[in-house]
């Protein structure tokens, strides 16, 4: 299966920049960053964070000229930060993520044993950062292996057993707290084959055979090939010979005398490019005659249920043993095979690039020769990660007002929703109602202010929409709108009373020491325009 993420190499210049900003030297091993196909969002200069934030999972890395030194980078970064800060210092606001951690793969055989998970947020006051690994907060003070440079988490002597997992960044200031999306840190490695001698395989001429690879431990993915007799003589795949990229085994549908020899499985790590060879497996022919014709037997097939993310390349394998050599044909039940699909390896692999929802369905491969035919069917299901349709926006309400926020996302399976206030789950109570993507708070109070996040998620991923809620609360002040008298002799007198206050004030009137009660002569408009 293809990965839903595109690889991007995070060069060591990023670590050089971080080290320069920290005032000390440091070096970090290259990390393979994984990001989605969606385009990157551009960060625009502003004095206030935007209403509703949807941060893509892309990693932004500047394409600096080779002549730039770490000093130049540091100077540019600091100057930009200072200019941005000056433009914001007149108004304070809660944290807003500029960069969130990305899925990453760290090569264990790298010379350096440091990995960096990136996180950056804007805010005034400047945010303070902390990190979680698999839901547990990282104690930077207690474990020397962890350190923070700005918001970035640096892991020294990274270990696949201790550090594999999902990472989440938290940014907070006086106005609230936000949590980043989580990012998976994996480790790329390739172990060695067992040195134990492999037994030989003996078959009759015309018989089919399967040679087992049994690969060593590895991550994340490997490519299989086979060496015949000695390197670099590689087994060529054709209608008679097939190497499964799922099992790694070599399948020969009909053995010929030219196939006799020694076979070695060669595996290559897709990230590190490391290669290892298995012990040889001898293949010999039996002397008790030639195998007669027989009908195909499918030895390689895709699972009965195949799950794939929308946008990836799907590869369905199907190969059979038989004499004569079987031919493979494909069809899609209740529909046509997509025009973009391609047949590879003598039709043993059906490849569907950029799969979409309409490509889902039941696919059949059939192996046939003059002795008969054997079919196999499996269902392809397409899932999609959540994507926003609508997000929440920053809001400023008066104390006592009603808050009503709604967020919507698409996805397959359909996403579910949860809400966070300052990084903590919101639970329904007397004033607070949570129904899927809708949050309602009756008569908001000062304690309701803070950073809110709507999280839409299905079993394949989660996305976050963030917004700040500000609650105004102030005593009545008449200075902006003093009471004005508009009077004409013999006519009604109109006195306007419009104090600034939050929540809306209750208005009463006095004439001298006596309180005025509504009557035929005295009355007033409840909208703060008061007729006397």
413: domain CATH number? 2.60.40.10
How does residue 515 score in pLDDT terms, banded at 50, 70 and 90? confident
Across 207-228, average pLDDT: 97
H or E element at residue 330: strand 327-332
Tell whether 140 is covered by a domain. Answer: yes
Residue 12 has pLDDT above 70, yes or no: no
Both tokens assigned to 316: 């369905």
Q: Are residues 69 and 170 in the same domain?
A: yes
Tell whether 234 is covered by a domain. Answer: yes
Judge contact between 209 and 286, C-beta under 8 A.
no
**Is the peptide bond prior to 125 cis by the omega test (within 30 degrees of 0)?**
yes
pLDDT of residue 110: 85
Q: Are residues 351 and 498 in the same domain?
A: no
Q: Are residues 68 and 105 in the same domain?
A: yes
Tell whether 135 is covered by a domain. Answer: yes
Residue 82 has pLDDT above 60, yes or no: no
Pairing mode, strands 281-290 and 201-205: parallel
Tell whether 1 is covered by a domain. Answer: no
Tell me the HSE value of 364 on the side-chain side, using a 13 A CA sphere: 12
> Average per-residue pLDDT in the chain?
82
Tell whether 32 is covered by a domain. Answer: yes
Q: Are residues 87 and 203 in the same domain?
A: no
How does residue 230 score in pLDDT terms, banded at 50, 70 and 90? confident
Least confident of 50-54, 226-230, 486-490: 50-54
Q: Are residues 268 and 148 in the same domain?
A: no
What's the rounded Cα separation, in Å, for the pair 42 and 424? Answer: 29
The predicted-structure confidence for 441-462, as pLDDT tens digits, reads as follows 999 999 999 999 999 999 999 9
pLDDT of residue 35: 47
Look at residue 33 and give its three-state secondary structure. strand
Residue 350 CB neighbours (<10 A): 24
| Whole-number Cα distances in Å, 522 to 493, 496, 517, 518, 532 | 10, 14, 7, 5, 5
Tell whether 451 is covered by a domain. Answer: yes
Tell whether 142 is covered by a domain. Answer: yes
Cβ-Cβ contacts under 8 Å for 430 (sequence gap 6 or more): none
Q: Are residues 160 and 173 in the same domain?
A: yes
**Is the peptide bond prior to 170 cis by the omega test (within 30 degrees of 0)?**
no
Pairing mode, strands 450-458 and 416-421: antiparallel
Q: Are residues 157 and 211 in the same domain?
A: no
Share of the chain above pLDDT 70, in %: 73
Across 297-311, average pLDDT: 97
Judge contact between 215 and 267, C-beta under 8 A.
yes
Judge contact between 263 and 211, C-beta under 8 A.
yes
Cβ-Cβ contacts under 8 Å for 422 (sequence gap 6 or more): 172, 176, 177, 450, 451
pLDDT of residue 493: 67
Dmax (CA) of the chain: 130
Category of 4 on φ-ψ map: left (φ > 0), alpha (ψ -120 to 50) or beta: alpha
Could you give the number of structural domains in the chain? 5
Judge contact between 281 and 226, C-beta under 8 A.
no
How does residue 182 score in pLDDT terms, banded at 50, 70 and 90? very high
Q: Are residues 468 and 478 in the same domain?
A: no
Tell whether 363 is covered by a domain. Answer: yes
How does residue 490 score in pLDDT terms, banded at 50, 70 and 90? low
Both tokens assigned to 496: 């306007």
pLDDT of residue 347: 97
The predicted-structure confidence for 386-430, as pLDDT tens digits, reads as follows 999 999 999 999 999 999 999 999 999 999 999 999 999 999 999
Q: Are residues 52 and 126 in the same domain?
A: yes
Across 137-157, average pLDDT: 94
User: What is the residue-wise DSSP string for 75-101?
Assistant: HHHHHHHHHHHHHHTTS-EEEEEEE--
The residue among 334, 355, 383 that closes a domain is 383
Instruction: Specify which residues 387 forms β-bridges with.
Output: 410
pLDDT of residue 124: 95
The residue among 472, 488, 511 that closes a domain is 472
pLDDT of residue 486: 63
Highest mean pLDDT among 6-15, 207-216, 513-522: 207-216
Both tokens assigned to 173: 């200031």
Q: Are residues 268 and 317 in the same domain?
A: no
DSSP code for 313? P
The predicted-structure confidence for 107-120, as pLDDT tens digits, reads as follows 998 888 899 999 99
Across 498-523, average pLDDT: 65
H or E element at residue 522: none
The residue among 383, 418, 442 that closes a domain is 383
Q: Are residues 409 and 276 in the same domain?
A: no
Q: Are residues 319 and 179 in the same domain?
A: no
Better pLDDT: 341 or 491: 341
Could you tell me the residue range of the domain that residue 460 belongs to?
A: 391-472
For the chain, the first-to-last Cα distance in angstroms comes to 79
């Amino acid at each position: 299966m293809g990965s839903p993420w595109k690889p991007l190499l995070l060069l060591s210049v990023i670590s050089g920049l971080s080290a320069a900003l920290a005032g000390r030297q440091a070096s970090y091993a290259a990390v393979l960053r994984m990001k989605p196909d969606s385009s990157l969002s551009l960060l625009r200069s502003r004095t206030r964070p935007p209403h509703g934030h949807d941060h893509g999972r892309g990693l932004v890395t500047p394409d600096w000229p080779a002549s730039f030194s770490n000093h130049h980078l540091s100077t540019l970064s600091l100057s930009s930060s200072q200019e941005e800060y000056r433009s914001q210092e007149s108004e304070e606001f809660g944290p807003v993520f500029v960069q969130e951690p990305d899925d990453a793969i760290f090569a264990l055989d790298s010379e350096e044993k440091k990995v960096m998970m990136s996180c950056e947020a804007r805010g005034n006051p400047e945010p303070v950062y902390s990190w979680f690994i698999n839901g547990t907060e990282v104690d930077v003070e207690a474990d020397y292996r962890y350190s923070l440079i700005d918001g970035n988490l640096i892991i020294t002597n990274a270990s696949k057993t201790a550090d594999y997992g999902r990472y989440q960044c938290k940014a907070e200031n006086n106005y609230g707290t936000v949590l980043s999306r989580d990012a998976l840190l994996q480790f790329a490695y390739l172990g060695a084959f067992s040195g134990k001698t492999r037994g030989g395989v003996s078959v009759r001429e015309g018989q089919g055979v399967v040679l087992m690879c049994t690969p060593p431990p590895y991550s994340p993915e490997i490519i299989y090939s086979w060496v015949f007799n000695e390197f670099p003589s590689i087994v060529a795949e054709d209608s008679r010979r097939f190497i499964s990229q799922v099992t790694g085994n070599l399948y020969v549908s009909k053995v010929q005398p030219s196939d006799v020899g020694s076979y070695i499985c060669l595996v290559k790590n897709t990230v590190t490019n490391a290669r290892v060879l298995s012990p040889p497996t001898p293949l010999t022919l039996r002397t008790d005659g030639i195998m007669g014709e027989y009908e195909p037997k499918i030895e390689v097939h895709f699972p009965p249920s195949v799950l794939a993310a929308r946008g990836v390349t799907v590869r369905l394998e199907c190969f059979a043993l038989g004499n004569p050599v079987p031919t493979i044909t494909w069809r899609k039940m209740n529909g046509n095979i997509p025009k973009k699909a391609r047949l590879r390896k003598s039709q043993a692999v059906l490849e569907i690039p950029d799969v979409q929802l309409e490509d889902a369905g039941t696919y059949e491969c059939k192996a046939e020769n003059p002795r008969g035919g054997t079919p196999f069917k499996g269902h392809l299901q397409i899932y999609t990660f959540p994507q926003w349709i609508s997000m929440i926006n920053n809001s400023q309400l008066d104390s006592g007002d009603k808050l009503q926020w709604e967020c919507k996302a698409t996805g397959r399976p359909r996403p579910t929703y949860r809400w966070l206030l300052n990084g903590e789950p919101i639970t329904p109570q007397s004033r607070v109602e949570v129904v899927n993507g809708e949050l309602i708070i009756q008569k908001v109070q000062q304690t309701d202010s803070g950073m809110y996040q709507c999280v839409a998620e299905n079993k394949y991923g989660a996305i976050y929409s963030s917004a700040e809620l500000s609650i105004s609360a102030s005593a009545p002040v008449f200075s902006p709108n003093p009471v004005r008298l508009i009077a004409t002799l013999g006519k009604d007198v109109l006195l306007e009373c419009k104090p600034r206050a939050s929540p809306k004030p209750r208005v009463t009137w006095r004439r001298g020491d006596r309180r005025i009660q509504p009557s035929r002569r005295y009355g007033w408009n409840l909208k703060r325009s008061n007729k006397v």
